[in-house]
Structure 1
């Protein structure tokens, strides 16, 4: 029995309080805390809380009236799962076909599938980049063009970067690009000599070429991926890094878990080597004269903070370099691989394009950017490839800016009033396969881009480089590189997909099966940008070329 002696000046209330506290402490000390009891308490709290959240998101939430998969309405793990499977873009298309043009893909996410929504979201001063892009930050205030949200800061950065990749700059840089394309041609020629002719994986060839070009454009630095193996680890490093970033953008809290370590320890080691390579590129370029090369550095040297000391990794040029190399090397190589895929599987298109190239030039040395602009069917083939296999196939998230101007009104997207705090976006892959804008969307038809052909494409729904103030500034560079590579290849060679199982690599049936006479499409895996493999092609020198 508990006994308590109190002094004369202690009140009765204080005495009772002390008795109560001692009794509680005694009960706690005498009751062992076990894991089963803790689990019971946890379940008793977690289950009602989870049910409450589910009921709120299904029946009370401001987006409750929008259709979508049940799991997507209550949690972001629906999108996370498909991002982990690298098929979120294809699943989004299937969900649009099932639920309609407006899709709830998360508790606070709406995906639209219309040209009107494309304009309402990305051409709108009320809208800013979503906070999910902050998942790519590697340190406090280490912004680049990809993850900067503040519009004023983005405008400043874009004004620095855009001049190096606009059309005028590309005219100056074209001889350097052409040198790398000629190495590409020479390596193909070596592959088809004598009895040792071999099939080439165009993903590898195009990625090596793309990264060599962007290394020279960024810092005048020869990475030499086409001819040497030393720096080829960069390709796999970027792939794993972009894969982890895509997961983090679906569930931003994952960014704190350092996924590159959780995924593969070896990948983390490779990433360290990649960052060291960028550091070497920056240090070598900073040690040279500003105008030693026509490159990214020559344009930004006076307007961006650089360092030759021990702070390169935290400098502004460091963050921009990481984005510049990834965006410039990965996206163009995806489009080039895809166009080789579609030409090798569409004989009529292949013959028409080859005829155009071979009749437009009398010698390979005449193939240059200014003269390629007259090759209308070449441009149509490139645009059709970008439609069917956009290098950025996912949803680019936006949200209404906080603290908008007085009287600005609600955010309206394609006639829908969007509640504040909602993330909105258009899935580019789904929009490009919307038959309302592109009849027979799963069939490779370059003719749809020619003005004199019926069933034209609706350019208002074409956005491989996005639209608005955040549109890709590298459009001129991408078209020039793709045009040079395809034109010079078709001038020198004939090609076809290799025989056997290897020849089928890269192809997959469209989401939902074959429709409208559609053929295989080039398989892209959504990892923020695109991962892919193949096609494997067999080349031979064209017989009509002496």
Structure 2
């Protein structure tokens, strides 16, 4: 009995001391912290669980936009976090040699000795990897890969044609179709390996984005980066499942069995990653890069294309102008490939940019922090006129910036013309606030490929088909939904994306009609 009472007393004492500790921490963060002057939600000032809560709800991008509306262009979104909403901050953060990736990204590291392009904080290591990958996504490499890309696009088009048989169109869920198409393209580009998602069901589990939400939650809780990375390996394996792990390993080993130059794919990474004596280490490093590149090249492209087709199906004027541009530029579908004629389709590029603006594939905040070595410098770190204390994480929320009325008037209206105004000041302001691929040394290395791929897909689809919003309940898929955030009256015409670091989305559902005579060419494609 005495032992039980003693244990109970010790437990109460421990609980009391823990309570006192957290109260003291809370008082410090509210009254004495270097960031105490910055406005923000009370719970965000006290704990990183504020961001984690909304990340778990997949709507942190909307909450951040709402917080900027309430508190202004600089918001304290965590005890040591400041999120900005200006083009000046965008430049000051992401084009700054004194700033590197936040340590929170260490949770994406697959093993202690394995550093990927996404997870590495070291700027020299990142630059080295990027320099080696550069030629693989350069113009010469993309030209060599383009026939493979077009083959996959033609499969996509033939599948659309199947949905139009017997003069009755079956609604097509564009999220599903674009997910399969873009992953098929990237599997060929990265490994020269055919996943065949468009024609077979075996590997379609590869398009699931479930683990992304856990990454997004973890990024809001920097203390997790101090946990040994090996602990997260088992969690990632559980979330992805053995199928995902085994398929990646099979893809990597199949590529390694070929000559290093057998095909111009990214495992040409055999040069980039520099195969060590330990094959298992190499496979783990290759898997680290592959996971990032596959998702970066497929999930983001699927979001852009799904959003664009959603907006085109609901904006007749924009749809007709784009159709007219494409069908007057090319004489047949076979001519649609990269080159001067495709580049001359300026309205097509404007439509892609507007879809990327309204529905950014990475809608959240890419957190950064000051490089440790620069703390000893005499000049303080200044972001958009604000002196930033050491140890502070800073970033710009892409969704919030893309819906900032200072750069994009009527931000919830689909207006591709805003990128073609002809007014130098307006155009400059729009592009200053436009960052779907981020900017600076860690900006998306595949930006050129993304525009080429998206342009070919959209142009070929509109050459062979007309489409419209499906009728009834199916036609409502993709519309913005009320989640208690984001001022629904403004978002009513918006494509619904959910923030999981990348995005989750569903729809739109569209009915396609083949253009008479022209669509017969699709049957001739081998």
Does the alignment reach a TM-score above 0.5? Answer: yes
Partner of 2:357: 387
Give 1:403 deviation, angstroms: 1.9
Q: Deviations over 1:401-453 (max 9, x none)?
A: 11228645111000000000000000011001000011111100000111436
1:177 and 2:177 are equivalent in the alignment: no
The answer (yes or no) to whether the contact 2:111–2:233 under 8 Å persists in 1 is: no
> What CA distance in whole angstroms lies between the structure 1 residues aligned with 2:281 and 2:373?
36
Unaligned runs of 5+ in 1: 1-28
* 1:396-475 equivalence runs, <5 A: 396-404=366-374, 407-452=377-422, 456=427, 458-475=430-447
Partner of 2:326: 357
* 1:101-500 equivalence runs, <5 A: 101-194=73-166, 197-236=169-208, 239-253=209-223, 268=238, 270-298=240-268, 300-306=269-275, 311=280, 315-370=284-339, 371-404=341-374, 407-452=377-422, 456=427, 458-500=430-472
Give 1:345 deviation, angstroms: 1.0
TM-score of the pair, normalised by structure 2:
0.92
The answer (yes or no) to whether the contact 2:252–2:283 under 8 Å persists in 1 is: no
Partner of 1:513: 488
> What CA distance in whole angstroms lies between the structure 2 residues aligned with 1:290 and 1:262?
33
- Structure 1 residues 192 and 323, CA, compared in 2 at 3 Å: closer, same or farther? same
The answer (yes or no) to whether the contact 1:215–1:223 under 8 Å persists in 2 is: yes
1:540 and 2:513 are equivalent in the alignment: yes
The answer (yes or no) to whether the contact 2:110–2:233 under 8 Å persists in 1 is: no
* 1:22-101 equivalence runs, <5 A: 30-33=2-5, 36-101=8-73
Give 1:240 deviation, angstroms: 1.2
Unaligned runs of 5+ in 2: 520-526
Give 1:147 deviation, angstroms: 0.7
> What CA distance in whole angstroms lies between the structure 1 residues aligned with 2:335 and 2:277?
42
TM-score of the pair, normalised by structure 1:
0.89
Report how many aligned residue pairs link the two structures.
510
Task: Flag the structure with larger Rg.
Answer: 1
Partner of 2:522: none
- Structure 1 residues 196 and 348, CA, compared in 2 at 3 Å: closer, same or farther? closer
Once superposed, what is the RMSD of the aligned Cα atoms?
Answer: 2.3
The answer (yes or no) to whether the contact 1:180–1:212 under 8 Å persists in 2 is: yes
> What CA distance in whole angstroms lies between the structure 1 residues aligned with 2:11 and 2:172?
57
4+ long deviations beyond 6 Å: 257-263
- Structure 1 residues 513 and 195, CA, compared in 2 at 3 Å: closer, same or farther? same
The answer (yes or no) to whether the contact 1:218–1:325 under 8 Å persists in 2 is: yes
Q: Deviations over 1:291-330 (max 9, x none)?
A: 21111122x3234233797515654333222222121121
The answer (yes or no) to whether the contact 2:276–2:282 under 8 Å persists in 1 is: no
Partner of 2:523: none
> What CA distance in whole angstroms lies between the structure 2 residues aligned with 1:489 and 1:353?
12
